[in-house]
Structure 1
Amino acid sequence: MAPPSLTSRAAALLTAERGRFADRNPKSRALAESAGRHFPGGVPLHWMKDWGTPFPLAVAEASGAEVLDADGHRLADFCLGDTGAMFGHAPAPVVEAIRAAAGHGLTAMMPSTGTAAVGDLLAEVFALPFWQVTQTASDANRAVIRWARAITGRPRILVFEGCYHGQVDDAFVARGPDGRTVVRPGLLGQVADVAATTVCCPFNDLPAVEAALAAGDVALVLTEPALTNTAMVLPAPGFLDGLAAACRRAGTLLCLDETHTISTARGGYARAHGLKPDFLVVGKPVAGGLPAAVFGFTADVEAAMRRADAERPAGYSGIGTTLSGNMLQLAAMRATLEDVMTPEAYGHMLALSDRLAAELSAAITRHGLPWSVTRLGARAEIVHSPTPLTDGAHAAATIDHDLEAAIHIALLNREVIVTPFHNMTLVSPATTAAHVGRLAEAFDDTLTALLR
């Protein structure tokens, strides 16, 4: 949390920048009012109101690493659809693949002729032999949880405080003041007590995990390799290896949700660090921004899945949706894996992200602020702590939503987009040194305005 003097300055900056935003974007305001006749708040998804702006910014076009808004401003985009467009907006190979495939059908609830090729690519890139396709990472995580319970016969899962795994009921838990698992505050319409079947532990706390697994009733540990949906928390040295070993000893399956940590390297964090999870989930960017996700699994898991499927009564399994694995998804996924998610693309992204993190850190140092920058591959985040974050509770203690909102809208007014959630940045293959320079200059100018 920011000290009182910085908090008051953030409030003043937020007020000023909101006024400036309203003056700069009259067409977006008009579009929001028009859309508001049928879409609450003028948005087709209520999350789109979470940017901290007086009204939503309307996008006219998104291409490469830039967004053109309704009022004609061309913004350098470091949010990239919160990773959905991690490889840039509308990558040419994906656009061409969609254009070619669309004329031959979109969905048929049958495998397409390209299914085998996509399977080969997924196995090669992510080093797991078996895969299934879903619409979203939420769907993939739900499927993994259900399969893990079916395979092990155990009812509980384990997640970490501060996690986010999409629209998955089981993961919406937190740690109460006494350390017990509780349902996360703020949920709408929650009926089931998911704290009865989910245990929440602090990230990087291996003894807490081992104690939770000792009861022998945990089917699955579901985690990101690094927490990225709170202020970013990196794994402590040896934590993930220790976690995998603890799962093996306890007979618990391990799933790594790489929807965001795919920014680490080609093949994700697990491949880059030699981790061997039982399941792996990759979401938003795997089809170049087209709605799609995948979950992979080992040969042992696949054999256990077949046994569980053979033993159950006939009827719906509760896993899957009609549009999952459709022809258009597979065409876009193949183009992404073959021609977009390349070693060369990652080489560009990682080098430029390193430069960006250095520029942001230098600005923080120049202005004498007790902040730092945490980086994970192509992802970098401004953290309101002088030291690396250790777990979800530490991350939550550093978050000042008004300060984040003030910085975010100030950058928008300087024609730079970062995520509205804890000011994370992402570098794509289409991002240039000029884009990085624009963000660095805008951030420095924003800090000057904040401290003025």
Structure 2
Amino acid sequence: MAGTTFGNSGGIAPERIAALREREAKTFRAARPKSERAYGNGLPGYLGGVPMHWMNDWPTPFPIMVEQAKGAAIVDIDGNSLADFCLGDTGSMFGHSPPPVARAIRRQASRGLTYMLPSEDAAAVGKLLAEKFGLPRWQIATTASDANRFALRVARAVTGRRKILVFNGCYHGAVDETFVRLDRGRPANKRGLAGEFRDLTQHSKVVEFNDIPALEAALAARDVACVITEPVLTNCCMVQPEAGFHENLRRLTRDTGTLLLIDETHTISTAPGGYTKRHGLDPDIFVLGKPIAGGVPASVWGLSAETAQRYDDYLATKEPGYSGIGTTLSANPLQFAAMRATLDEVMTEANYTHMESLAARLQAGLQQSIERHALPWHVARVGARVEFICAPGPLKNGGEAEAAQAPALEAAIHVALVNRGVLIAPFHNMMLISPATTRKQVDRLSAAFADIAEVLAA
């Protein structure tokens, strides 16, 4: 019965989970003969049979082969249409090919795709970034991972310190220094890192989110260049900041001469200016990737006026040579065209009002099913980003978030949702609302979730 504890299985008997997954896998295969034939034992020519290894992390029996995506829907090569709440794991948070972005891409395509020089769109984007997010000085990169790497290099340059601090359970892309965790309370490299030969804890400190005493102790030595954090932990089971956490984080970083980097790559779901602007945060460095160009690979990192001046002073005295910052295709005109359209025409208050309204509706629908069946689960939300978590909540930190994960149960639910016409993110139970998402799609997801919950709790 639901409510009975079966280890890390969300209160559901393992045999019931296994039966659901086996049944749903058969249904999935039957509906996708073309995808199965096309995929076979993997796509020819690719390591692991896929262009990017995490495509094999979907819990479906094989990856869905997409024919096209538009708005908030995906159609596979077998003709199955899915209401898409994954949205490229935030990369398409504003929908697939938003019309203003599609128009900008078509316009720029005939004008050149990359030439290492600025354009009129570049001039407009610089102003839009300052207006939208509040920081005055910006640089462009291609992924949030790159932006975070470059920003941390700047933080070390202006402080003269080597170490950074992250929160247990954090996500900042493929930044090596952030691949640390707490293992039984002790700092350690994250599990499963490929080819890692270093002890990353030598230059990275890690404490639990919401633990102000631990943060204060970690910063006391004044050897940390930068605290890098999401405003809300999002790539594990979602963890919200407790009252006063961000105010104390800012106070402690200032008191110890430590810079504060806010990574809004996921929490941009909150508002046009992100969680930072909505909640009045005051970072020294701001990073945003994924949806900033409406699906075109791009990211930005911004500096406060004081941090920018410190970096200017540093550059005036450093020896000539390669800075280690920048990649050739960053700040290309296609990025600028797409970013301008996204910032000016897509990231609007009207679109966010629509997104937040439907996200609240989805949150209520999921929570209603959980309560109806007395499941020991809960729902978390940050703006247009919603997550059901197969454990009681709210969660306080990354350690609790790790313990709340129920991989076998979540995988079964994901496949069952696909079979009911709904796609959510594969890595955890994240769902996004876009400007193109409809009330009908939200209700379809809520109904599918209710059906699955009833099967599991029967």
Structure 1 segments of 4+ aligned residues over 4 angstroms from their partners: none
Q: What is the aligned residue count?
A: 451
TM-score under structure 2 length normalisation: 0.97
Deviating more after overlay: 235-244 vs 41-50: 41-50
Match of 2:246 in 1: 240
SS at the partner of 2:120? coil
TM alignment of 1:34-433, pairs within 5 A: 36-177=43-184, 179-433=185-439
Structure 1 Cα separation of the partners of residues 29 and 216 of structure 2: 52
Structure 2 Cα separation of the partners of residues 14 and 210 of structure 1: 45
Cα displacement (A) at 1:41: 3.9
SS at the partner of 1:219? strand
Aligned residues of 1:382 and 1:422 also touching (Cα < 8 A): no
Cα displacement (A) at 1:5: 4.7
Structure 2 Cα separation of the partners of residues 321 and 111 of structure 1: 15
Amino acid at match of 1:304: R
Structure 2 Cα separation of the partners of residues 235 and 4 of structure 1: 26
Q: Aligned pair in 2 of structure 1 residues 236, 4: CA closer, same or farther (>3 Å)?
A: closer
Tell me how large the CA RMSD over aligned residues is. 1.1
SS at the partner of 1:323? coil
Aligned residues of 2:101 and 2:338 also touching (Cα < 8 A): yes
SS at the partner of 1:114? helix
Cα displacement (A) at 1:34: 7.7
Amino acid at match of 2:76: D
SS at the partner of 2:67? strand
Match of 1:436 in 2: 442
Aligned residues of 1:42 and 1:56 also touching (Cα < 8 A): no
Structure 1 Cα separation of the partners of residues 342 and 448 of structure 2: 32
Residue deviations 1:77-130 (CA, integer Å, cap 9, x gap): 001000000000000000000000111111111112221210111111111111
Aligned residues of 2:179 and 2:189 also touching (Cα < 8 A): yes
Cα displacement (A) at 1:3: 6.0
Aligned residues of 1:28 and 1:70 also touching (Cα < 8 A): yes
Percent identity over paired residues: 54
Structure 2 Cα separation of the partners of residues 402 and 5 of structure 1: 10
Amino acid at match of 1:37: P
Cα displacement (A) at 1:388: 0.2
Deviating more after overlay: 425-434 vs 381-390: 381-390
Structure 2 Cα separation of the partners of residues 122 and 220 of structure 1: 22
Structure 1 Cα separation of the partners of residues 62 and 258 of structure 2: 46
Match of 2:4 in 1: none
Cα displacement (A) at 1:367: 1.4
Structure 2 Cα separation of the partners of residues 95 and 345 of structure 1: 17
Structure 2 Cα separation of the partners of residues 4 and 363 of structure 1: 15
Amino acid at match of 1:323: L
Amino acid at match of 2:321: G
Match of 2:5 in 1: none
Amino acid at match of 2:177: D
Structure 1 Cα separation of the partners of residues 131 and 15 of structure 2: 52
Structure 2 unmatched runs, 5+: 1-7
SS at the partner of 1:289? coil
Aligned residues of 2:230 and 2:267 also touching (Cα < 8 A): yes
Residue deviations 1:252-296 (CA, integer Å, cap 9, x gap): 000000000000111000100011100111110000010000011
Aligned residues of 1:233 and 1:391 also touching (Cα < 8 A): yes
Amino acid at match of 2:33: P
Structure 2 Cα separation of the partners of residues 65 and 34 of structure 1: 29
Amino acid at match of 2:141: T
Amino acid at match of 1:335: A
Amino acid at match of 2:117: M
Aligned residues of 2:150 and 2:325 also touching (Cα < 8 A): yes
Q: Aligned pair in 2 of structure 1 residues 342, 315: CA closer, same or farther (>3 Å)?
A: same
Structure 1 unmatched runs, 5+: none
Structure 2 Cα separation of the partners of residues 361 and 253 of structure 1: 38
Aligned residues of 2:10 and 2:390 also touching (Cα < 8 A): no
Cα displacement (A) at 1:54: 1.3
Amino acid at match of 2:448: A
